[in-house]
Amino acid sequence: MRQTILSVVLDVDPQSVRHLSDLIEDFKRQQEEAGTESYVRLKDGLPSLHFLSMSVFQSADYDPVFVIEANFDGASDTFWRHFEATMADHLRPMLRCCKRPVDNDEPVYDAVTKPGAREPVVTYLARRTLRPSVFHQGNRGLERERILRERDLFLAIKGELAQPSPTAPNPYRAIPAEQIHTRLRNAMSRSFPWLAEPASPRIPWTERTADFCRLLAFLFATFLCLSIPGMAVAPVTPALRFAVLTAVLAGLVAIGLWRMHRARAGEGVPTRSGGLTPASLSVKNRLTSFAHPVTLVAGLLFVVALYVVAATVIGSVLTMLITGLSYADSFWPTARVVLLGLASIAFTAPAVVLWLRWLERRDSSHDEPPVDVQLLREMARREDWIAQNHMGSVVLIKPGVLRTILVRTGHLGLGLILRAIATDGYLGSMRTVHFAHWAFINNGSRLMFFSNFDHSWESYLDDFIEKAHGGLTLAWGSGVGFPPTRFLVLDGASHGRKFKAWARHSMAVSRFWFSAYRDLTVDQIERNARIADGLRKATLKAQEATAWARDL
């Protein structure tokens, strides 16, 4: 089942920010009205919705920003129809608190917000929607309906396995796991007839294939961009002279990197764990076998070979069209240029890293961001009411051409790798993130982050700091005031106290937050899925049944 993450980002009239916050709080109180099940209208009206939040970010650096974040099943068209029917009456007054856009969306905004308007509000919201630059889905492919019905199955199994009386014998004790499976399946099938149906694949093979093709295309594009300087010089330079020139330049860059590779005094931290590796993205996925050095090198050589073949074939066709030569006459000169360009990456890639390191050593960090005590109390008051929590953050992006290219490229690459590897709910050894994403907002000048996660905010960030700081530094290190980084992925978020203070400073109160399954953690959802998958099978072998029974 495809799942979608999106955000609607709207600038707010500063004079209306208090009124907007009050409107959101009023909507929250209506959904939590005493005497009814909390959020029942949202649950019924938005059947595909997992999480929904509304936040207002305020800063001295920009006017207030109103953000609607949604995580749901399926395509956005169906979601927007349900959203309009359920939320339009509440959202229209909120939109009137926002600034009138100065682009082509002005007529749509006017039609939605004028007195007595009947134009669907989603007409405007859909046009202001942002797609994430990086995102992660913890229980990927498990639609909301399946999560809820497997939760009900788990609760029914708990009741079935419970000791009915202290003196009565329990029929599930002292019997093999295969018999437990058979008895439970017979007992549950009457109340849950869907156990007789095979489960739909969580990630169809077409989606998996598309994920790998996009990752492969990204690698090809990276090789091509880094090869361009060498490819420009290769046609007019003898191969031997080209190799010598590349080696000399690479040596000079290596000397520069060696001189600047150490952290400045007081900025270095241990990096023995939590770096950015395939294993740090998922410890359970079979694809993390690529973390083995031999397998990784073999895979990289295979990708490079594919690139050389593809670039030569495509380049030969372009050369033939431009010069009028035959394909046979174009092929080998093109192959030479492609190979020499690829060899020049030995200089261009370290040169980019050297430029980045030069910038990093001149960065300033925000060691003690100002703390709004009242805001912290308000955020703390809303945390830890249920098994899950929510956070949102907006930070300014560091300026510069190289920074812009690297942060965009880093986000794109990290997002593609997550889609290919982190498919089983794990980020490293962590299984606490339901939905999380980064997005560039306000013409790319700011970076927004939202996460729906299990347990407390402190433990959530501690997990990332200890086990996956490399990915966190890559994704967030472009923020102004971020703790000192090295080579894009080192240090940074490893500065635990500084990083958490910086993150807290950039956060806003989640004025409204909806969870469709408030009592479930990511790990419990996967546990419920494994139990249900086992009961869907008529029989299990002894070893399979033993492994399955451990989740009961």
- Domain end: 131, 154, 182, which one? 131
User: Do residue 260 and residue 241 come from a single domain?
Assistant: yes
Q: What is the pLDDT of residue 288?
A: 47
User: Do residue 195 and residue 64 come from a single domain?
Assistant: no
**CA 435 to chain centroid:** 7
User: Do residue 242 and residue 306 come from a single domain?
Assistant: yes
User: Do residue 187 and residue 259 come from a single domain?
Assistant: no
Q: What is the pLDDT of residue 293?
A: 67
How do residues 329-346 score in pLDDT, each as one tens digit?
A: 899 999 999 999 999 999
User: Over 4-50, what HEC string results?
Assistant: EEEEEEEEECHHHHHHHHHHHHHHHHHHCCCCCCCCHHHHHHCCCEE
User: Do residue 20 and residue 85 come from a single domain?
Assistant: yes
Query: Is the overall model pTM greater than 0.85, yes or no?
Result: yes
Q: What is the pLDDT of residue 36?
A: 54
The number of folded domains in the chain is: 3
User: Do residue 258 and residue 317 come from a single domain?
Assistant: yes
User: Do residue 165 and residue 127 come from a single domain?
Assistant: no
Residue 537 lies in a domain: yes
Of 271, 273, 289, the C-alpha closest to 421 is 289
Q: What is the CATH number of the domain that holds 31?
A: 3.30.70.100
User: Do residue 178 and residue 297 come from a single domain?
Assistant: no
Give, for all 552 residues of the chain, the pLDDT tens digit: 789 999 999 999 999 999 999 999 999 998 887 545 568 888 999 999 999 999 999 988 889 999 999 999 998 999 999 999 999 999 999 999 999 998 889 999 999 999 988 899 999 999 999 999 999 999 999 999 999 999 999 999 998 888 777 677 778 788 889 999 999 999 999 999 999 998 889 999 999 999 999 999 999 999 999 999 999 999 999 999 999 999 999 999 999 999 998 887 767 776 554 555 555 555 555 444 445 567 777 888 999 999 999 999 999 999 898 888 888 889 999 999 999 999 999 999 999 999 999 999 998 888 888 878 888 888 888 888 888 999 999 999 999 999 999 999 999 999 999 898 888 777 767 788 999 999 999 888 999 999 999 988 888 888 878 877 888 888 898 999 999 998 888 888 888 888 888 988 889 999 999 999 999 999 999 999 999 999 999 999 999 999 999 998
Print the domain residue range for 125: 1-131
Residue 148 lies in a domain: yes
- Domain end: 360, 391, 419, which one? 360
Separation between Cα atoms, residue 283 and residue 279, nearest integer Å:
5
Q: How far is CA 495 from CA 271, 340, 464, in A?
A: 11, 41, 11
Strand order in the sheet with 433-441: 134-137, 433-441, 446-454, 388-396
Do 402 and 355 contact (CB within 8 A), yes or no?
yes
- Domain end: 131, 155, 172, which one? 131
